[in-house]
Every structure is written in structure tokens, then in C-alpha cells.
Structure 1
Amino acid sequence: MAIAKNTICLWYDKDAEEAARFYAGVFPDSEVKTVYRAPGDYPSGKEGDVLMVEFTVAGVPCLGLNGGPTFKHNEAFSFQIATDDQEETDRYWNAIVDNGGQESACGWCKDRWGISWQITPRVLMEAMAAGGGEAKRAFDAMMTMRKIDVAAIEAARRG
């Protein structure tokens, strides 16, 4: 199997395969492709341990690297998942938060491995693209939210 020309590499302590399998079970167009085992001992593991996992998240090629506890995730990197309605927004948000994750503000949450996710209804992005008062009202409404409330954003767009 050929590795994509450009792949996002995500550093995990030791749970890359578990994380990849979780993402594949939650998001459409996601799958675990190849699990690479270490051919020899390395600083944070031993021969035979899962070293890397090739997977996709919503069509985006990723490589999970089990590199040990040296580096931690932060909000400087996030996946933004566009949703079509409240049901889809709730499904992804709840899957992440209810599986050991945590809520943040303005549609952001973190999974239990520390990866940040923006669960963003398309209606919010459409309002922002519209500009002017519509964007300002939608933005002001979003600033009060954790998980995005689609009906509240739609109402804010209308004024």
C-alpha cells in the first residue's frame, strides 16, 4: 500500500492504534490501514510493539506514531469536522466527549488522547462567510456556546 504524498503525523505516547480505531468507528470515510510493528527496541518501546499506524480520518491521511510521553498535543493542531445538522453535531461531539474527552468553548473539544476537534456545523461557517451583521450575530451566539447549537445559530443569522 502506498503512503500518501502528504500525511499528518500525530504523536501518541503508546495508544496510536487505539485512537485510530476509535476515529475509524466514529467518522465516515475513516479507516485503519496498516499497523507497523517495531523491528527492534527503541527508546520508548520494544521490538514487536506498535510503532506506527496508518489511518484516515474523514478522508484525511494520517500516521499515528507511538513516540512515548515526550510530546503532548495542544490546540495549535485540531481536526475540524463540518456537520450538516444538530444530530450529526451531537453524534460526533458526544462520541469524543463521552469517551474520556472534554468539552471546550465555541465547538471545540478534546479526545482522551489530547487531540483537539472542532465540531463545526456548516450553518456557522456559512454565516461567517456571509459577513456583516449576519456574521456578527452568529459569532456572538457561538461565543456563548460549548457544543454548537444549530437552531441558535440559525436564529442569530436571521436576527
Structure 2
Amino acid sequence: MTTITPFLMFQNKDAEEAMNFYTSLFKNSEITNIVRYGPDMPGGEEGTVMLATFTLNGREFKCIDSSIRHQFDFTPSFSVYVDADTEEEIDHLYSRLAEGGQELMALGNHGFSRKFGWINDRFGVSWQINLP
């Protein structure tokens, strides 16, 4: 069967920090594999993430620390969408993900759900947090 996995490219050598942060926020989440650049390996700085796999509530993601600085970065046109189970959960997730980030839509009732918010986190990844 074909596998489809969200893939995040970090350009500031913070892939591991981001994975640790994300896996601390969601139950049933863990970093499952990290391959790092070694000494004198072409393509990346020693110790940075060549390729890593992690899960958020059982959903697999992959990420890298890009060794090339690109002219593009993350964009809100692609986001991680989270349906929270409780009001406490949505409030917690939104406040933690918003720390050091950018609010795109304030957390509140926007007419299409009980509570919804959209943010770019401190790593630039876009999140839509919803309480259906």
C-alpha cells in the first residue's frame, strides 16, 4: 500500500527541538527514529537531522534540517489540523503552540465550530486547532 506522510523541512537547525516540543504536547506521540549527519558527511552539519520520523497522536511525520537555505519556508496554506476533544485541550494546545509564534486567527467561535484558532508556531509551522 502507498504511504502518505507529512514532511517538514526546517532551515534553522531546529528539527529536533520542534519534534521534542510537538511530541510533548500530544498523547500517543514519540520520536521514533533520528538519523544525524556525522563528521565529514556531505550534505549537512554534524549532529543535525538528516532524516527523522516522529508520531503525533499516532500520525507519522518526517522531518529534516535542510543543509541548503532555500528562498521559501513554511506557509499557512498547508497546516496541521487538530480536532481537540475538550475545551481544556484546545486552550492548552493553542496557548503552547502560539508561544513565540504568530496568531493568524484568534481562538474563538468563528461560526463554523464551537472554538477555533489558527497560528504559526515559533518554528513557522502552521496549525489549525478546532473544537468541533
TM over 0.5: yes
Root-mean-square deviation over aligned CA pairs: 1.8
Tell me which of the two structures has the higher relative contact order, counting C-alpha pairs closer than 8 angstroms and 6 or more residues apart: 2
Unpaired runs of 5+ residues, structure 1, are: 123-159
Residue of structure 2 equivalent to 1:153: none
Q: Percent identity?
A: 35
Distance 1:34 1:86, change over 3 A: same
- Across the two proteins, how many residue pairs are aligned to each other? 116
Q: Distance in 2 between matches of 1:89 and 1:34?
A: 28
Unpaired runs of 5+ residues, structure 2, are: 106-115
The structure richer in helix per residue is: 1
Aligned runs of 1:102-141 on 2, under 5 Å? 102-105=102-105, 107-122=117-132
Question: Are the equivalent residues in 2 in contact too, given 1:30–1:57 (CA < 8 A)?
Answer: yes
Amino acid at match of 2:48: D
Residue of structure 2 equivalent to 1:9: 7
Q: Distance in 1 between matches of 2:65 and 2:101?
A: 20
Which structure would you say has the larger Rg? 1
The structure richer in strand per residue is: 2
Residue of structure 1 equivalent to 2:101: 101
Question: Are the equivalent residues in 1 in contact too, given 2:37–2:45 (CA < 8 A)?
Answer: yes
Q: Distance in 2 between matches of 1:49 and 1:107?
A: 32
Question: Are the equivalent residues in 2 in contact too, given 1:102–1:110 (CA < 8 A)?
Answer: yes
SS at match of 2:17: helix
Residue of structure 2 equivalent to 1:156: none
Query: Aligned-pair distance for 1:17?
Result: 0.9
Residue of structure 2 equivalent to 1:54: 53
